[in-house]
Structure 1
Amino acid sequence: MAKKLKDYYDENYVIDLATKLQSVYSPFNAKEFIAEVRDDLENQEFTGRQVLIARTLKKYIALNYEETIDLFSKILGPELEGSLGMFTEGYWLWPIGKYVELYGAEHFEVTSLFSKELTKRFTGEFCMRPLVHHYPKQAMELLLEWSKDENKRVRRLASECLRIRLPWAKKLYVTLDYFDDYVTLLTNLKNDEDKTIQKSVANSLNDLYKEAPEKFDVIIKNWQEEDLSPQTAWIIKHASRTKEKHAK
């Protein structure tokens, strides 16, 4: 039987995380942290475990938000090579991301900078979505910059955090309110050779079709009026899967 996703975040995981934190923050009471998480861990499914660990981290790290993020930065480790590995090598960072998602919405600069670094080791779209919700204009300006970043993981983040129907997240409709910026951002990425970015753009467009098919059609029509690169052609085909299903 395949290992369930929630089971990667078991007692051994909590011990490893506590050890990492205590190595860079001596006041951290690893023993009490582990005991408190362990008491409720088995009662929780995947999302519940992320929230449990994040909330308990907040309780046992006696620092403000900015200081806590600085602490987390010290245990991130090296950047992952290429564009894969976010859910294999980087999986252990998920509760750290959940902490940022839960408590970072009022700290635009600190949270966005950390999300950019986190995505190089794991993924950062869940951290960024509260910022996109609370500071849409400022966030869109930043994401437009990230869509042209030299790091492919950062470019993917620019697209992924804007998905209307991102799995494990609440719906986010900023793309409809800032549609021109959204179009520019996806256009910046439509010829990207990285497959994870192509999938992110296609999935974002597929989400868009489900909410606003007329806006989806505007983007696809404009792209089809140009000479299509193989990358853009693949994105259009993958993005149109729901539309084609409805047409049958």
Structure 2
Amino acid sequence: MTKKFKDYYDCDYALELSQRIVVVYPQFQTDRFLSLLSPSLEQLEFNDRQVLLASSLKEVLSLNYQETIALFEKILGPELESSLGMFTEGYWLWPIGKYVELYGDTDFEISTSFSKELTKRFTGEFCMRPIILAFPEQSMQLLLKWSLDENKRVRRLASECIRIRLPWAKKLYTALDYFDIYSELLTNLKDDSDKTIQKSVANNLNDLYKDDPVRFETIISAWETEDTTKECIWIIKHASRTKRKRESSI
């Protein structure tokens, strides 16, 4: 029987996470951490497990937010070299991202800086979304900058975290409120050679079409020129899948 993804986050996982923390923070109370989890962790669904893990970390760590993030930075480990691996090699970092998602939306600088480092080992789109809601203009300007970053995982994050309909997340309409920046951000990525970035941009635009077909066409028409790259052509085709489906049903 195939192991469900949620079941990777069990009590054995919690012990392994605590052991990573103890290496850099010997005061960590492993027994107390496990006692907060053991009655219910393995009975919960995926997201509830992440919330319980993150909230239990907060309860056990006698540190403020800035100090906690500084501790987490010490256990991140090496950056992933490829675009993939976030759910295989970096999966163990999910509760760390959930911690930032739950408690980091009042500290823009620390939370965004950590999210940038986190995405190099795992992914940062979920923990960035509350920050985007709390600091929309600052976030959009930062994401625009990240869309030009030398690290491909950071460039992907610039697109992925601003998706209107990101799976496993609440809808986020900041892209529509700051459409000029959003359009420029995606345009910076439209010719990217990395396939995960191409998929993110295409999914972003497919989300956009569902809520605002006119703005979708504004971006696509600007990209469709005689010099359009093969990467951009692929993005446009993949981004137009909902449009094609709707047109074929008429």
TM-score range normalised by the length of the shorter chain: over 0.9
Q: Distance in 1 between matches of 2:200 and 2:183?
A: 14
Aligned to 1:30: 30
Q: Distance in 1 between matches of 2:113 and 2:107?
A: 10
Aligned to 1:210: 210
Aligned to 2:21: 21
Deviations 1:17-68 (A, max 9, x none): 0111111112210011012111111221000100000000000000000000
Aligned to 1:28, what secondary structure does the other structure show?
A: coil
Aligned to 1:172, what secondary structure does the other structure show?
A: coil
- Measured after TM superposition, the shift of residue 131 of structure 1 is 1.2
Aligned to 1:93: 93
Q: Distance in 2 between matches of 1:227 and 1:199?
A: 21
Aligned to 1:119: 119
Deviations 1:168-190 (A, max 9, x none): 11110000010000000000000
Q: Distance in 1 between matches of 2:26 and 2:89?
A: 26
Q: Calculate percent identity across the aligned residue pairs.
A: 65
Aligned to 1:46: 46
What is the aligned residue count? 248
> Structure 1's 137 and 216: CA in aligned 2 closer, same or farther, altered over 3 A?
same
Aligned to 2:109: 109
Deviations 1:65-123 (A, max 9, x none): 00000000000000001111011000000000000000000000000000000000000
| RMSD (Å) for aligned C-alpha atoms | 0.7
Q: Distance in 2 between matches of 1:139 and 1:62?
A: 29
Pairs within 5 Å for 1:1-248: 1-248=1-248
Aligned to 1:54, what secondary structure does the other structure show?
A: helix
CA contact (8 A) 2:136 2:174 kept: yes
Aligned partner of 1:22: which letter? V
Q: Distance in 1 between matches of 2:154 and 2:162?
A: 13
Deviations 1:113-140 (A, max 9, x none): 0000000000001111111111111001
Q: Distance in 2 between matches of 1:182 and 1:147?
A: 10
Q: Distance in 2 between matches of 1:135 and 1:64?
A: 21
Aligned to 1:74, what secondary structure does the other structure show?
A: helix
The TM-score normalised by the length of structure 2 is 0.98
Q: Distance in 2 between matches of 1:86 and 1:42?
A: 22
- Measured after TM superposition, the shift of residue 207 of structure 1 is 0.4
Aligned partner of 1:141: which letter? Q
Q: Distance in 1 between matches of 2:74 and 2:196?
A: 27
List, as ranges, runs of 4+ consecutive aligned residues in structure 1 with deviation greater than 2 Å. none
Aligned partner of 2:110: which letter? V
- Measured after TM superposition, the shift of residue 226 of structure 1 is 4.8
Q: Distance in 1 between matches of 2:233 and 2:56?
A: 46
